[in-house]
Amino acid sequence: MSTEVKVPQVRKNDARQNDVRGNDVPRSDVQHTAPKGVKLPIYMDNHATTPMDPRVLEEMLPFFMEKFGNAASRNHSFGWAGEEGVETARERVAKLVGATTKEIIFTSGATESDNLAIKGVAEMYREKGNHIITAVTEHKAVLDTCKRLEKYGYRVTYLPVQKDGLVNLDDLKRAMDDKTILVTIMAANNEIGVLQPVAEVGKLCRERGIIFHTDATQAVGKVPVDVNTQNIDVMSISAHKMYGPKGVGALYVRRKSPRVQISAIIDGGGHERGMRSGTLNVPGIVGLGKACAIASEEMAQESCKLAGLRNRLRDRIMGRLDEVYLNGSGEHRLPGNLNISFAYVEGESLLMGINDIAVSSGSACTSATLEPSYVLKALGTGDDLAHSSIRFGLGRFNTEAEVDYVADRVIETVERLRELSPLYEMAKEGINLKDVKWAGE
Amino acid sequence: MSYSDKVLDHYSNPRNVGSMDKSSADVGTGLVGAPECGDVMKLQIKVNRDTNVIEDAKFKTFGCGSAIASSSLATEWVKGKTVDEALSIKNMDIVKELSLPPVKIHCSVLAEDAIRAAIGDWKKKQQTAQPVTAEAK
């Protein structure tokens, strides 16, 4: 006897089914009607990048045409105008993180900042030691930089993380030795939004005279970051994760107690106190400055709003679907981050079903390497659940109506795909999937 | 990555989704892949024991859109074919029909495996069932 499962059929966009000649027109996607006040597609991938705030663009515009001068041109008004824009930005960045202006170096973004911090410290303190400590859930900009240094004779310890995604401070203490010159631990994770105990890590480093770098790309502008109270020595900052332009970032380098020195990795005209040569990206830097100024003003309020939206999304989805798992700590987390796994549903097929919503997945199928997310694996999430994960990144411009629409679409698609899933069927029959001998293993 | 229209069509309107009684003598079940790898396909066929023709096919798939489309297409293709004809379906036929990109070729391989596994299961059942029918005569 055969049973036909009714899989809800997706409505097609009738308008595009036939062209004027009555031929079938290739259909690239299926269309859903947006509720009132919601414009499709919805962007909810704010850890990948954020849309620019219109106030940032407004601030930048004069620096393309009127104030185009090279900030390093010291002898005419064109140069002075550029320099003024850069120095205002430097003050704004410094203010947001509790630094002084002389401690801010502008770069092309967080990847360059991470490279400069890690390679710059490694080279400068080579005489003192060759050991670096980081964590397995760091961004590739940190991990791959550390891997390269291993080729040059540095020793790197990759700390594991706990089930909640946080590093264990005892593990860190145990890993430190008299050759340790640098600890690099991120402030907030880009996939699971987990906030590391930065102040405590910094304190342990300070006590032992070890330099502490943090990749704060996802944290700055979202949660309070203060280089002094959190004992940070070197810190990477990105503009485009906080409603600023792409291609610009900054590196904080502590000047006092202790004074940190780094070797340059880009040689040239000696810009940025010799730490980063190259003509300054004045409009970009101005944009980063404005983004920081807005964050200084609005972060407290905005993070409350985002946490509210994120919790609403979480509660709606988890209220309607069973076997949905939160990845990473619920408590130590960026307000706009929700990373959850939908058991028995593969992430890429879920993304396909919600193609009017921009989110990302830890599924192997969405990565270039065909490996599921190394961050989720590090938490001890099984590969099966890593394949089923979706990252929602809420941001400044998301609304409650969007959250409700996204929740409904996710629920409907997961239910549809579970009806299609042999794993869901087996689980419902009481088969323990862990006991099955899979042919593909 | 963009999907071909045929993949989108099978994903949105999958054919022959469902399950058959796997203990039935005329049903062959193939279960291939592994959850850890991100793809599991279950493909079932119902075979007419006099003609060896596959009269019905059903599938369920955990996997990406291309995996769902490959198995949906496989059920369409095996229906109406004899068991031997169905065994001649090659993964590259599926790749061609669905215009799968190179990174998705493994989805088509899995679909071919699923067809072979389902037929293998059915054949095994026929061998064990044979002596019983012989005795009954």
For chain B, the domains span: 5-124
- The span from the CA of A440 to the CA of A433, in Å, is 14
Task: Supply the pLDDT for residue A370.
Answer: 63
Per-residue pLDDT at A30: 54
Counting every residue, how long is chain A?
A: 441
Q: Per-residue pLDDT averaged across A105-131, rounded? A: 98
Hey, what are B2's tokens?
């963009």
Mean pLDDT of chain A: 92
What average pLDDT does range A270-276 have in this prediction?
95
Flag whether residue A349 sits within 8 Å of chain B, measured between CB atoms: yes
Could you count the other beta carbons within 10 Å of the beta carbon of residue A88? 17
Instruction: Provide the token pair at B128.
Output: 């064990």
Tell me how far apart the alpha carbons of residues A161 and B61 are, in angstroms, rounded to a whole number: 33
Residue B23 in this model has a pLDDT that exceeds 50: yes
Is residue A304 flagged as an active site residue? no
DSSP class of residue A35?
P
How many CB atoms sit inside 10 A of residue B27's CB? Answer: 22
Residue B91 has pLDDT above 90, yes or no: yes
Do residue A383 and residue B2 have CB atoms under 8 angstroms apart? no
Integer-rounded Cα Rg, in Å, for chain A is 24
Q: Which residues of A touch B36 (CB under 8 A)?
A: 382-384, 387, 438, 441
Compute the half-sphere exposure of residue A372: CA atoms within 13 Å on the CB side of its CA.
28
Which residue ranges does chain A devote to CATH 3.40.640.10? 54-295
Phi, psi values for residue A27, rounded to 5°: -110, 120
CB of B102 less than 8 A from some CB of A: no
Please report the sign of the dihedral spanned by the C-alpha atoms of residue A122, residue A123, residue A127, residue A130. positive
d(CA A324, CA A343): 6
Residue A32: predicted pLDDT: 73
CA dist B91 and A432 (Å) reads: 31
Decide if A199 touches B, using CB distance below 8 A.
no
SS3 call for B95: helix
* Residue A182 at interface with chain B, using a CB cutoff of 8 Å: no
Q: What is the pLDDT of residues A370-427, one digit of tens each?
A: 678 999 999 998 888 999 999 999 999 999 999 999 999 999 999 999 999 999 999 9
ipTM of the complex: 0.90
pLDDT of amino acid A186: 98
Rg of chain B taking only CA atoms, in angstroms: 15
Burial of residue A269 (number of CB atoms within 10 Å: 0-12, 13-18, 19+): exposed
Angle at A14 between CA A8 and CA A16, to 5 degrees: 125
Contact B64 A363 (CB under 8 A): yes
Mean pLDDT of chain B: 92
pLDDT at A384: 87
Each residue's pLDDT tens digit, A366-378: 666 667 899 999 9
Is B96 a residue whose pLDDT tops 50? yes
Please compute the mean of the pLDDT values over residues A295-305 and round it to a whole number: 98
The mean pLDDT of A133-150, rounded to a whole number, is: 98
Q: Give CA–CA dist A292/A50, Å, rounded.
A: 14
For A412-434, the three-class secondary structure string (H helix, E strand, C coil) is HHHHHHHHHCHHHHHHHCCCCHH
Catalytic residues of B: 37, 107
- Residue A91 predicted with pLDDT over 70: yes
- As a whole number of angstroms, the distance between CA A11 and CA A7 comes to 12
Residue A306 has pLDDT above 60, yes or no: yes
- Write down the pLDDT at residue A6: 61
Whether residue A431 lies within 8 A of chain B, CB to CB, comes out as no
pLDDT higher for A228 or A1?
A: A228
A105 Cβ contact partners less than 8 Å away, ≥ 6 residues apart: A116, A250, A251, A252, A253, A272, A273, A275, A276
Q: Residue ranges of the alpha helices (H) in A178-330?
A: 198-208, 282-320
Q: Write down the pTM of the prediction.
A: 0.90
Chain B: nearest CA to A5, how far in angstroms?
Answer: 5
C-alpha distance from A420 to closest chain B C-alpha (Å)? 5
The torsion angles phi and psi of B136, rounded to 5 degrees, stand at -65, -30
Class of B5-124 in CATH: alpha beta
**Which chain B residues are Cβ-neighbours of A421 within 8 angstroms?**
40, 60-62
* Architecture per CATH, A54-295: 3-Layer(aba) Sandwich (3.40)
Contact A253, A213 (CB under 8 A): no
Rounded Cα–Cα distance for residues A152 and A233 (Å): 24
CA geometry: angle A73, A78, A80, nearest 5 deg: 65
Place A325 in a pLDDT band, splitting at 50, 70 and 90. very high
Q: Say how far apart CA A410 and CA A351 lie, in whole Å.
A: 9
- Are A263 and A120 in contact, with CB atoms under 8 Å apart? yes
CA-based nearest residue to A394, from A28, A46, A6: A46
Fold of A14-50+299-435: Aspartate Aminotransferase, domain 1 (3.90.1150)
- Over residues A187-231, the pLDDT tens digits come to 999 999 999 999 999 999 999 999 999 999 999 999 999 999 999
B19-25 average pLDDT score = 95
Dist. CA B130–CA B137, nearest whole Å: 11
